[in-house]
Chains A and B, each alone.
Chain A
Amino acid sequence: MNTAQTHSLEKTSPPKRQPLVMRLLDKDPGGKITISLLILIGIYVSIANLLIPEDSVFHITAYGVTLLGKYISFALLALSLDLVWGYLGVLSLGHGAFFALGGYAMGMYLMRQIGDRGVYGNPELPDFMVFLNYQELPWFWLGFDNFLFAALMIVLIPGLLAFVFGWLAFRSRVTGVYLSIITQALTFALMLAFFRNDMGLGGNNGLTDFKDILGFNLQSDTTRVGLFLTSIIMLILGYLVSRAIILSKLGRVVTAIRDSESRVRFIGYRVEHFKLFVFVVAAIMAGIAGALYVPQVGIINPAVFSPLFSIELIIWVAIGGRGTLYGAIIGAFIVSYSKTYFTGAWPEAWLYALGALFVLVTLFLPKGVAGLKAQFKENKFLKTLTFKKAN
């Protein structure tokens, strides 16, 4: 794991008068391009959906907006994973759990907004609770009528889980493969738990049939575009925050930990504190991504906790190029788009394609798409093609 991450150690000391954003994006051409593209997409999509008439070729349908919004929230998720995997060196096989928890928190808020418009028309209880003979709202649903409380929970629940889990794991120096496997166990356990009807969170079917958010109808075009733009803004913010972390002194220590944990520890740093900080920040970002995903897709169910989803998002980062941040965004777009395409046009081929992607990317593109140029430059591409041992 040494070749992929070397170029993230850029020099600091940016010129003093530059604005913060420019300082963060200094020497990050990929990031600059990605963010500019995101802003352009945001502007174009809102205009194309709302102002351009429907019969025009440039019009983007509501479905298209939602789909792009979904990709954007996935991109934010991939970005947070890159922070953990690319910079912390922790291959989390359970990162989807934080995404799902954020999604569930948002879903609970949206459920409460339905009020008495459900199938059963019960103003106190969501449909599935009426169906399952609940007499009253479970205690953990209290407060979710309030958006601010829900927003707090979107940040707090994934953050808290990451804190407790990370604190235990990093303190006892669980590393590498072991850590990967117990993160997988974590999301697997959560999936099993959320599948239960007794959990009070909709069981197998999850939460769905949402009506509106903050009073805006979820089906209307303006709300969709609004959510889409919010997602883009959050993604850009997430990118800048990640850059800020990486460029800070703390970020340098984190990268150093990734490359040689014991050495950093021997120098005198409390390694686990640094790891914990990044892990929690990434989990919160994943939670926010989940919260953006749910209103746009309109459903959250335990399948998001499945180990398969968590592993799938690893390939997003891997294909985009880990340890670059913008690579994760590109990767999320590429893989999610191919998934949409394949599952529509040729459903059986999707798993073959995904499987082949995993194998080919690890074998031939250790630096992902973002590292293609560098790979060509170092002429390693041909070497790996001829099956020479990577080390």
Chain B
Amino acid sequence: MLKQILILITLLLFASPSWAIEINDQQLSEKIQPLTQKKLKQVSKAIDELSQYQHSRIQPILEALLNNNLYYLRSDKEVIITEKIDDKYFAINAISSSDIGEVSKSSIKKIKTNNKIRKNLRTILAKLSLSDSNVDSRLIAAKNLRKNPSAEATSLLEEAVISEKDEEVKRVMVEALNIIKALDSNLEESKRVEAIYKLNDSLSTDARNALTTLSSKTADGDFTHPEAVALAAEKVSKSIAGNVNLYSYVETAFFGLSMGSVLLLAAIGLAITFGVMGVINMAHGEMIMIGAYTTYVMQLIMPNLITMSIWVAIPAAFLVAGMVGILMERLVIRHLYGRPLETLLATFGISLILQQLVRTIFSPLNKEVITPEFMAGSLQINEALSLTYNRLYIIVFALIVFFAVLYIMKKTTLGLQVRAVTQNREMAKAMGINTDRIDMITFGLGSGLAGIAGVALSQLSNVGPNLGQAYIVDSFMVVVFGGVGNLWGTFIAAFVLGELNKFIEPVYGAVLAKVLILIFIILFIQKRPRGLFPQKGRDAEG
């Protein structure tokens, strides 16, 4: 029965080159009246008829029917589209879409459908949307057809391809067409094989599913489809799998890069305080946390300007965390220079106090930081590969921060003085450098950088009192692995560890990957106790 209907449609399509006849509201209202009849056959017929006309409301009506939202009023058989909110029905007129308001459940009757009708509806809707003026709707329609390939759609796809202007939509349409042809057992084998080879460049799961079906074997090892077709499908399937595999590696590498940049951001402040000054700041994680909370507070201050608040949060977090860092340095760390283990303990105490302080002020619960619009969504490279914008931005951000720090350390007077103090404190003092001031500024800089990292991390995860703890061990690993006192070492170590982690993860799972990385670093430190790029020279043996 369905087949007949479809053949009818197809015939009608060919009969009228511009297949839709435009009708006005009055005519449409007549055409949809049969829908209110009880017999499904009548309904089905009415739908088929509807699909031959062109009217802006036909598509919404059919969609409503498909979603079981199409009703009619028992009183005068007025067809309505309803929306159910909290057990109340709100209706609009199906044709004029004028608001009818709330209707009682007893006064309306649903227009019933069955599976056959719904399937038919889908095809009709697909056809309608293939000629939609909106590119996105056309794309969705084409993808739908690709997902549910049926030979009946061939002609309407072929037609749509010709008039299609958008490259992406056209590509999907052609792909759908090829899938349909490849699956069509009524077609000649040579044509099917040709269609299969044309699928070579596609990456969609739909194409791969179709090819898998084609190359499947029975329990006895025979192909379920003609041999030529099956062999071609097998060959193309393999080549596609290769491509998809390649892209999944690219994706993993991208995840690794993004994790690496997170590590870099978290560790760069530590690379300065620990690497350059030799101060073990166990409260470093809490500086990151402070940065993240600053972002949260900024969003509270300007709830309507989320994008703006992020830009304001970056300098704000730098300042807040930097000030806390300077305060720490002045009050505690200053008295412990030259006693690294004691510094470790004191700063750990500070980290506990800061965590508890945040719990007291903001509650121990996690806070959510809203992601600004420009960071939402993803960059679709192709069907097998899409890169999320927030990760992309974090990679870029981490690079900017890194090179800014590198510039400060290598090209500015401050950097020169910091390096001088690092290499030989006494000599630097003798040359007239105020080491006390340099210590303070360096520590402030390191802490401020941690604050900036907090802004970035707040975009990736929830903000909570334990945020810093999650990163402190990782940051230390990065700095130690890269070689203390070497910014480039930190840079390379961050990305190496990020990539390693992400490539081990799919094999052993996230937790075990982390454990393996830690073991790797522990063993690596045995081999090279001073990291990848150790400081050279006499003072390095301190």
Q: Which A residues fall within an 8 A CB radius of B?
A: 1, 91, 165, 168-169, 171-178, 180-182, 184-186, 188-189, 192-193, 195-196, 307-308, 311, 314-315, 318, 348, 351-352, 354-359, 361-363, 366, 387, 389-391
Contact = CB atoms under 8 A, between A and B. Distances in A.
B342 A366 contact: yes
B473 A177 contact: no
Nearest to A90: B341
Contacts of B512: 193, 196
Contact of B332 (A174, A176, A178, A359): A359
B392 interface: no
Contacts of B477: 181, 185
B344 A177 contact: yes
**10 closest pairs, A vs B, by CB?**
A358-B349, A355-B352, A355-B353, A189-B518, A351-B356, A359-B349, A355-B349, A362-B346, A168-B526, A172-B526
Contacts of B356: 348, 351-352, 355
B515 to A, nearest CB: 5
B466 to A, nearest CB: 10
Contacts of B345: 311, 314-315, 318, 358, 361-362
Contact of A362 (B342, B359, B522): B342
Given A185-B473, A314-B345, A389-B335, A174 B526 contact: yes
A362 B336 contact: yes
A212 B529 CA distance: 47
A91 B344 contact: yes
B346 A182 contact: no
B351 A355 contact: yes
A180 B473 CA distance: 11
Given A1-B339, A359-B346, A363-B335, A171 B526 contact: yes
B204 to A, nearest CB: 35
B315 interface: no
Nearest to B340: A177
A351 B353 contact: yes
Main SS class of interface, B:
helix
Contact of A185 (B282, B511, B518): B518
B141 interface: no
A358 B336 CA distance: 13
A359 B350 contact: yes
B529 A172 contact: yes
12 contacts: A169-B525, A169-B526, A172-B527, A174-B529, A178-B530, A185-B522, A192-B515, A196-B511, A351-B355, A356-B353, A363-B346, A366-B342
B480 interface: yes
Nearest to B521: A185
B476 interface: yes
A185 B274 CA distance: 17
A174 B531 CA distance: 11
A358 B352 CA distance: 9
B112 interface: no
B511 A356 contact: no
Given A177-B344, A189-B518, A354 B349 contact: yes
B503 interface: no
A311 B341 CA distance: 12
B519 interface: yes
A361 B349 CA distance: 10
B280 interface: yes
Interface in B339-395: 339-346, 348-353, 355-356, 359-360
Given A91-B344, A358-B345, 6 more contacts: A188-B518, A193-B511, A351-B353, A355-B353, A356-B349, A362-B345
A188 B338 contact: no
A356 B274 CA distance: 22
B122 interface: no
Nearest to A360: B349
B349 A357 contact: yes
Contacts of A169: 525-526
A176 B355 CA distance: 27
Nearest to A183: B522
B363 to A, nearest CB: 12
Nearest to B331: A359
Given A177-B341, A351-B353, A193 B529 contact: no
Contacts of A181: 476-477, 480
Given A196-B511, A348-B356, A389-B335, A184 B341 contact: no
Contacts of B519: 189
A321 B154 CA distance: 85
A391 B338 contact: yes
Interface in B302-346: 332, 334-346
A391 B350 CA distance: 22
B365 to A, nearest CB: 14
B523 interface: yes
A184 B480 CA distance: 13
A174 B525 contact: yes
Contact of A363 (B280, B332, B473, B511): B332
B514 interface: yes
Contacts of B339: 1, 390-391
Contacts of A314: 345
Max chain A C-beta neighbours (<10 A), residue from B274, B341, B529? B341
Contacts of B353: 351-352, 355-356, 359
Max chain B C-beta neighbours (<10 A), residue from A172, A181, A356? A181
